[in-house]
Structure 1
Amino acid sequence: MTDQAAVEKLKGKFSSSVLEVKEYRGEVTLTVRAEDILAICAFCKNDLGFNMLADLCGVDLLAMGGAGPRFQVVYNIYNMKAKQRLRLKAPVAEADPRIDSVCSVWGAANWPERECWDLMGISFNNHPDLRRILMTDDWVGHPLRKDYPLQGPDRESYQGREV
């Protein structure tokens, strides 16, 4: 199956959920509604053969100045048989940064979802073990957010080294 065929099948099945399709340098990215991410990912795996979640990460668009949602969750998936990649992006609102977990589709989503929650503050509904993975349990905030203090919580700002 070609990239275009996969996109057409996704658009046919989830016509109201596919918000945008972009191709750049041979890579296809679909922006989809966050509410439908679990169904879309299950379709990609079961019907389109994307049997591997290669990566999952969060993106903070605060500095982009757009009017859209502040966050995105990005899924890089791979069809090992066809040697085909596909990128899915799901916008997530700042007011309630949450999206459904895809651990039931790809077990490999467990730790990347935990990392995304720990560092970006995006919560994953129905995640089997959503807790900090990199920061200590008593850490305040999510350090990869663009509005997070550079020196960390409750610290004086860096003044330079005294020689």
Structure 2
Amino acid sequence: MSEKNAPANGSGSDALPEIPEVSAVPDVPEVAGTPVRPELRLEVIAAPTGQFGASDAGDTTGYGEHRGIVTLAPAAARPYGSWFDGVVDALIEDLQDAGVDPAAAIEKVVIEHDELTLFIAREHLLDVVRPLRDDQDLRFELCLGVSGVHYPQLAGRELHACIELMSLTHGGRQLRLQVACPETDPHVPSIVSVYPGNDWHERETWDLMGIVFDGHPHLTRTAMPDDWVGHPQRKDYPLGGIPVEYKGAQTPPADTRRSYR
């Protein structure tokens, strides 16, 4: 994730930065010989003002005129460096051998903070994780879990499932998969059939983020009561709660405390 400073547009402190057009982003890298999907070249997730992005009170930080654009990390260009090229090449070869178009399965490759992230189309997630586990040149045999992220500004791609994989065979290499889906259709294939240990993680991600993992053997809540309505870790979930008793003291719900009124 990156943030770029941008000058204020127009006059007054309420002016917001212009969000660059996708077509204006140069040097689009290629994945498997095909350009990265154009709509993914620049994914803007926020345009904050001030130092902390607050808009409901006066800015006392001295950064009131700051204007920023926050985007997801852009697609990387070859060579990726380290062991990353070899892993991506091996995966592309495995997908081709299975009759899967790599350019359709791999949306983009991101290298950030010396970490490799592959954005995967949800309909091809199982096509990707099987060779990642089984190919002797890959052998990401351990899944460290899945978590969810909510980007309300990314229309049609608001929910992201982030899957962390590790290769014990190859000295602890770690790889991240990101799979996006819309709020209106929050479905991602379960990978429990490939990584059984992901069972609990998928349940928790559904419970708190609302991502439905199709094919999961028993997708039930883990943290919230079974009859709970909504998914509390989404960014649009309303502030509220229930009274909590802690060592004899009663803590009121967050929305009834004086500081929130």
Tell me, yes or no, whether TM beats 0.5: yes
In angstroms, what is the RMSD of aligned CA positions?
A: 1.9
Alignment match of 1:56 (pick from 127, 146, 152): 146
Tell me which residue corresponds to 2:55. Answer: none
In 2, Cα distance between equivalents of 1:51 and 1:85: 11
Structure with the bigger RCO (C-alpha within 8 Å, sep 6+) is 1
The CA deviation at 1:160 is 1.3
SS across alignment from 2:165:
strand
**Alpha-carbon contact 2:207-2:222 (below 8 Å) kept:** yes
Name segments (4+ residues, structure 1) moved above 6 Å: none
Alignment match of 2:123 (pick from 24, 29, 35): 35
In 2, Cα distance between equivalents of 1:159 and 1:133: 27
Normalising to structure 1: TM-score of the pair? 0.89
**1:72 has 2:160 as partner:** yes
**Alpha-carbon contact 2:156-2:181 (below 8 Å) kept:** no
The CA deviation at 1:159 is 3.9
Alignment match of 1:117 (pick from 199, 206, 213): 206
1:71-126 CA distance string (max 9 Å, x none)? 01111100001121111101111111011100010111100000011001111111
Alignment match of 1:16 (pick from 100, 104, 107): 104
In 2, Cα distance between equivalents of 1:126 and 1:142: 20
The CA deviation at 1:156 is 8.4
In 2, Cα distance between equivalents of 1:147 and 1:128: 29
Q: What fraction of aligned residue pairs are identical, expressed as a percent?
A: 34
The CA deviation at 1:21 is 0.6
SS across alignment from 2:149:
strand
**Unpaired segments of 5 or more residues in structure 2?**
1-81, 96-101, 243-252
**Unpaired segments of 5 or more residues in structure 1?**
none
In 1, Cα distance between equivalents of 2:111 and 2:257: 45
Quick one: structure 1 residues 152 and 96, their matched pair in 2 at CA, closer, same or farther if it must change by over 3 Å?
A: farther
Normalising to structure 2: TM-score of the pair? 0.57
AA of the residue aligned to 1:81: T
